């Protein structure tokens, strides 16, 4: 829910008009002159080849393009052809960009016999937190859901897309911070506390690394701020061998009710869930971190 709210807020905040300069022609002439004087021209935008990414179960999905909007962020334009005799919904499972987990916004009804063209948006807040400025590769799964029960009908294999970005590009990784927990499976690092006044939240930025051969989902239990129990918003799915930047969101109103004006300590346990083999799920001992 926090990630949907963040996306909606980003859309609202970005819907502003840019005023035109009265001296636009003069500025254009100066820009052209500076270019001829030896300034490097902007690099060509990164693109992706149009291609069919799923064609089974009487459903065909094509990725048409990679688009970058200054208002809504980066998106993949997808065309979905439902050749089945029944309606369905289509969404995406866990997605990574350059090996970093990024949430995507894509959940649409596709009627029987319908052709739908919609954009799959990459959550801009996580793109920025992950310092992704060049998209080199994208990986994700498509999930097809029954509209009434929301049960998964079928899903795709892992889809891997490469862009026209330099194949030698290396995504920068910032794993600095307080190591709150580390074992052979998961490394969990507290990096910063950021205030979001618009959403009335204190967001604890974390870096997570999956060093195992399993897909995990991380949840928080027994969460306390300065020794006081608080109900945070946090859930992170992290596939095999991937990394993620995410946020533990704490309501400012909840902190105010407890007379907490500053976050000094965090206490919690991590519940690490393996959905493929639920018996392998475990909970850590109590973790205490001082800011």
Q: pLDDT per residue over 158-174, tens digit each?
A: 999 999 999 999 999 99
Residue 70 confidence (pLDDT): 60
Instruction: Write down which residue in 121, 138, 162 finishes a domain.
Output: 162
Inside any domain, residue 38 = no
Whether residues 158 and 51 share a domain: the answer is yes
pLDDT at 35: 44
Report the chain's mean pLDDT, rounded to a whole number: 87
Whether residue 202 sits in one domain with residue 150: no
Question: Is 30 within the bounds of a domain?
Answer: no
Find tokens 């997605």 and name the residue: 95
pLDDT means over runs of 10, the chain (291 residues): 44 39 46 42 79 98 90 90 97 94 95 97 93 96 95 96 96 97 97 94 97 96 97 95 97 97 97 89 96 78
Query: Residue 73's domain spans which residues?
Result: 45-162
Q: Are residues 196 and 279 in the same domain?
A: yes
pLDDT at 33: 46
**In the chain, how many domains are there?**
2
Q: What is the CA radius of gyration of the chain?
A: 22
- Pairing relation of β-strands 100-101 and 243-251? parallel
Task: Look at residue 75 and tell me if it is in a domain.
Answer: yes
Instruction: Please tell me the predicted confidence (pLDDT) of residue 146.
Output: 95
Residue 24 has what pLDDT? 43
| Inside any domain, residue 97 | yes
For residues 132 and 210, membership in a common domain is answered with no
CATH number, domain with residue 105: 2.60.40
In a domain, 110, yes or no: yes
Q: Which of 114, 129, 162 is the last residue of a domain?
A: 162
Last residue of a domain, one of 129, 162, 195: 162
- Residue 276 is predicted with a pLDDT of 84
Whether residues 108 and 186 fall in one domain:
no
Report yes or no on 60 lying in a domain. Answer: yes
22 falls within a domain: no
């Amino acid at each position: 829910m926090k990630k949907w709210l963040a996306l909606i807020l980003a859309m609202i905040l970005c819907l502003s008009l840019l005023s035109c300069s009265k001296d636009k022609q003069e500025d254009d002439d100066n820009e052209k002159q500076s270019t001829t004087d030896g300034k490097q021209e902007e690099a060509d935008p990164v693109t992706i080849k149009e291609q069919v990414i799923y064609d089974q179960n009487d459903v065909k999905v094509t990725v048409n393009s990679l688009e970058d909007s200054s208002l809504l962020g980066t998106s993949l334009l997808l065309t979905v052809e439902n050749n089945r005799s029944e309606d369905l919904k289509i969404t995406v499972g866990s997605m990574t960009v350059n090996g970093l987990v990024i949430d995507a916004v894509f959940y649409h009804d596709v009627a029987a016999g319908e052709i739908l063209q919609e954009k799959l948006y990459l959550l801009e807040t996580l793109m920025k937190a992950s310092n992704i400025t060049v998209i080199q590769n994208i990986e994700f799964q498509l999930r097809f859901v029954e509209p009434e029960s929301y049960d998964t009908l079928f899903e795709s294999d892992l889809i891997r897309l490469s862009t026209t970005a330099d194949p030698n590009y290396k995504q920068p990784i910032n794993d600095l911070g307080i190591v709150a927990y580390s074992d052979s499976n998961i490394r969990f690092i507290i990096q910063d506390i950021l205030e979001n006044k618009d959403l009335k939240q204190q967001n604890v930025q974390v870096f997570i690394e999956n060093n195992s051969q399993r897909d995990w989902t991380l949840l928080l239990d027994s969460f306390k701020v300065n020794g006081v129990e608080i109900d945070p918003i946090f859930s992170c799915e992290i596939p095999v061998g991937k990394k993620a930047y995410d946020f533990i969101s704490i309501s400012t109103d909840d902190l105010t009710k407890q007379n907490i004006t500053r976050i000094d300590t965090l206490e919690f346990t991590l519940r690490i869930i393996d959905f493929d083999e639920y018996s392998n799920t475990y909970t850590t001992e109590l973790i205490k971190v001082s800011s």
